[in-house]
């Protein structure tokens, strides 16, 4: 639909927030013939979407549906519905329709074909939204509600404050991580004014702090540990870990953030256990350990018997001492004392937000009919690997369907 063919008499939907959830809701609603205006406080839309692609653009994941839904923890029942409505396969078809082919990697993660970058997908998407007549207003800040259905806004360029009164509103302002992208969580007081309960923000998918010795920080700095397994509270995650000057980063520690957060709530430290050789049976490790000859240095022995090279010897000395009483335990369950999590502003994502009890099955606020909530504003979290973006897209698609039904009933 060309912009000049938009039906100006069609019901107006206002979308506050120009991230994946808001933009997909905008697209689906415009495709259904509704007028859509997007208001974004930053100079451009999709800023966090682009940030998500810096470390490898995991658009979604190729695992089967039941396992996929379980990745959302306490919100898994909700996401089972949402993923049925807009699945990983639907997301890949949506990208293909924009001219961006995808493939499933060996890890199960779904990536755009190598010639495509996140910016390519965003540009194609914005062209489609323009063709559909979606009006995108950047540098527009939401100031709160006005009356039963109005929104107070400010144009940050001109300083003008004004009110719009849409038939329905979608709030998709994001969580509270990476605030420089616009998802700063400052919308909380507007909803609190309605009596909406918001769960306090906490970091998710973030690094863990370990009080390394000065010697360790100076000698190791930043170094990867590949093909390891990390365990906490009965949960084990495989992958690659990165030792840093402040502690640990990497997919395994990110995936264990919810468990670490719960453990740290009762007081630090929370003890992670690191398996440096998760593919070797314990009896084989014990057999190799028994073959160490007197006079062979620790680095030389670990390299020859287990292919473990620096910084592993230094890490073992740091955490288990120069002569562990139990070498098997040191190699397969090395205890790491986590003193805390990295700050919320550094986290990949956030836990907390609008409590799910505050929205109905359509994700509409119970305290303000006609106002819907999508994306990371809601209290859910998921690990990295495509689940975060898929969650945002799926909530956006679900909310769009809810808005359409709400308008049809008016």
For residue 209, tell me if it sits in a domain: no
pLDDT tens-digit readout, 59-74: 999 998 889 999 998 9
The CATH number linked to 130 is: 3.50.50.60
Whether residues 274 and 359 fall in one domain: no
For residue 63, tell me if it sits in a domain: yes
DSSP states along 323-368: S-S-HHHHHHSEEEEE-EE--GGGSSEEEEEE-GGGB-TTSBBTTS
pLDDT at 115 over 80: no
Chosen domain end from 341, 368, 385? 341
Whether residues 75 and 137 fall in one domain: yes
| pLDDT bucket at 54, cuts 50 / 70 / 90 | low
Chosen domain end from 293, 314, 341? 341
Provide the β-strand partners of residue 69: none
| pLDDT bucket at 23, cuts 50 / 70 / 90 | very high
Question: Cα-flanking dihedrals φ and ψ of residue 26, to 5°?
Answer: -60, -45
Whether residues 142 and 36 fall in one domain: yes
Whether residues 329 and 365 fall in one domain: no
pLDDT tens-digit readout, 174-221: 988 877 776 788 899 999 999 999 999 999 999 999 999 999 999 998
pLDDT at 143 over 80: yes
pLDDT tens-digit readout, 212-266: 999 999 999 899 999 999 999 999 999 999 999 999 999 999 999 999 999 999 9
Whether residues 79 and 28 fall in one domain: yes
What are the tokens at 381? Answer: 């979290």
For residue 211, tell me if it sits in a domain: no
276-294 average pLDDT score: 93
Predicted local distance difference test score (pLDDT) of residue 1:
43
371-381 average pLDDT score: 96
Lowest-pLDDT choice from 109-113, 134-138, 155-159: 109-113
Chosen domain end from 295, 326, 341? 341
CA distances for 161 relative to 8, 16, 140, 165, 390, angstroms? 23, 15, 9, 14, 34
| pLDDT bucket at 295, cuts 50 / 70 / 90 | confident
For residue 159, tell me if it sits in a domain: yes
| pLDDT bucket at 114, cuts 50 / 70 / 90 | confident
Predicted local distance difference test score (pLDDT) of residue 292:
87
Whether residues 128 and 17 fall in one domain: yes
Predicted local distance difference test score (pLDDT) of residue 150:
96
For residue 195, tell me if it sits in a domain: yes
CA 107 to CA 404: how far, in whole Å? 37
| pLDDT bucket at 78, cuts 50 / 70 / 90 | very high
Whether residues 167 and 269 fall in one domain: no
The number of beta carbons lying within 10 Å of the beta carbon of residue 222 is: 11
For residue 135, tell me if it sits in a domain: yes
72: helix, coil or strand? Answer: coil
The number of beta carbons lying within 10 Å of the beta carbon of residue 268 is: 15
CA distances for 164 relative to 26, 132, 149, angstroms? 17, 21, 9
Q: Where are the beta strands (DSSP E) in 49-139?
A: 60-61, 102-104, 109-112, 135-138
Whether residues 178 and 113 fall in one domain: yes
pLDDT at 171 over 60: yes
Whether residues 55 and 167 fall in one domain: yes
| pLDDT bucket at 53, cuts 50 / 70 / 90 | low
pLDDT tens-digit readout, 311-320: 999 999 999 9
Q: In what order do the strands lie in the sheet with 60-61?
A: 60-61, 109-112, 102-104
Whether residues 245 and 388 fall in one domain: no
Whether residues 146 and 232 fall in one domain: no
Q: Is 21 exposed, middle or buried (0-12, 13-18, 19+ CB in 10 A)?
A: buried
Predicted local distance difference test score (pLDDT) of residue 182:
65
For residue 375, tell me if it sits in a domain: yes
Whether residues 162 and 233 fall in one domain: no
| pLDDT bucket at 5, cuts 50 / 70 / 90 | low
Predicted local distance difference test score (pLDDT) of residue 294:
86
**Count of structural domains within the chain:** 2
Question: Contact at 8 Å (CB) between 221 and 355?
Answer: no
Predicted local distance difference test score (pLDDT) of residue 2:
47
pLDDT tens-digit readout, 320-361: 988 888 999 999 999 999 999 999 989 989 999 999 999 999
Task: Give me the percent of the chain exceeding a pLDDT of 70.
Answer: 97
382-408 average pLDDT score: 95
| pLDDT bucket at 400, cuts 50 / 70 / 90 | very high
User: Which among 6, 71, 10 is positioned nearest to 408, based on CA atoms?
Assistant: 10
What's the chain's average pLDDT? 92
Domain that holds residue 283: 216-341
Answer yes or no: pTM beyond 0.75.
yes
Question: Contact at 8 Å (CB) between 88 and 110?
Answer: yes
């Amino acid at each position: 639909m060309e912009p000049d063919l938009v039906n100006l008499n069609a019901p107006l939907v206002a979308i506050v927030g120009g991230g994946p959830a808001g933009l997909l809701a905008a697209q689906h609603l415009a495709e259904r013939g509704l007028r859509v205006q997007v208001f974004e406080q930053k100079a451009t839309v999709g800023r966090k979407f682009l940030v998500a692609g810096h470390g490898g653009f995991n658009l979604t994941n190729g695992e089967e549906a039941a396992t996929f839904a379980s990745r959302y923890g306490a919100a898994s029942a909700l996401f089972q519905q949402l993923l049925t409505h807009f699945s990983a396969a639907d997301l890949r078809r949506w990208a293909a329709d924009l001219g961006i082919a995808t493939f499933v990697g060996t890890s199960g993660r779904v990536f755009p074909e190598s010639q495509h970058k996140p910016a390519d997908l965003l540009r194609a998407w914005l062209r489609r939204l323009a063709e559909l007549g979606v009006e995108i207003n950047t540098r527009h800040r939401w100031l709160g509600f006005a009356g039963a259905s109005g929104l107070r806004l400010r144009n940050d360029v001109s300083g003008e404050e004004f009110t719009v009164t849409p038939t329905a509103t979608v709030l998709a302002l994001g969580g509270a991580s990476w605030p420089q992208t616009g998802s700063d969580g400052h919308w909380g007081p507007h909803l609190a004014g309605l009596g909406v309960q918001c769960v306090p923000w906490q970091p998710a998918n973030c690094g863990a702090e370990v009080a390394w010795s000065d010697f360790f920080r100076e000698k190791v700095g930043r170094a990867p540990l590949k093909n390891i397994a990390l365990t906490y509270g009965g949960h084990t995650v495989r992958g690659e870990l990165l030792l840093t000057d402040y502690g640990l980063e990497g997919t395994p520690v990110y995936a264990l953030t919810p468990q670490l957060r719960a453990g740290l709530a009762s007081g630090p430290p929370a003890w992670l256990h690191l398996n440096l050789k998760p593919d070797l049976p314990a009896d084989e490790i014990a057999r190799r350990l028994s073959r160490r000859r007197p006079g062979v240095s620790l680095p030389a022995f670990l390299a020859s018997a287990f292919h473990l090279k620096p910084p592993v010897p230094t890490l073992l000395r740091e955490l288990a001492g120069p002569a562990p009483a139990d070498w098997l335990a040191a190699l397969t369950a090395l205890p790491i004392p986590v003193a805390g999590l990295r700050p919320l502003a550094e986290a990949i994502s956030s836990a907390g937000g609008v409590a799910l009890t505050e929205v109905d099955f359509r994700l509409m606020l119970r305290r303000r009919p006609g106002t819907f909530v999508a994306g990371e504003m809601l209290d859910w979290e998921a690990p990295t690997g495509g689940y975060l973006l898929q969650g945002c897209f799926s909530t956006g698609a679900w909310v769009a369907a809810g808005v359409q039904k709400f308008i049809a009933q008016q």
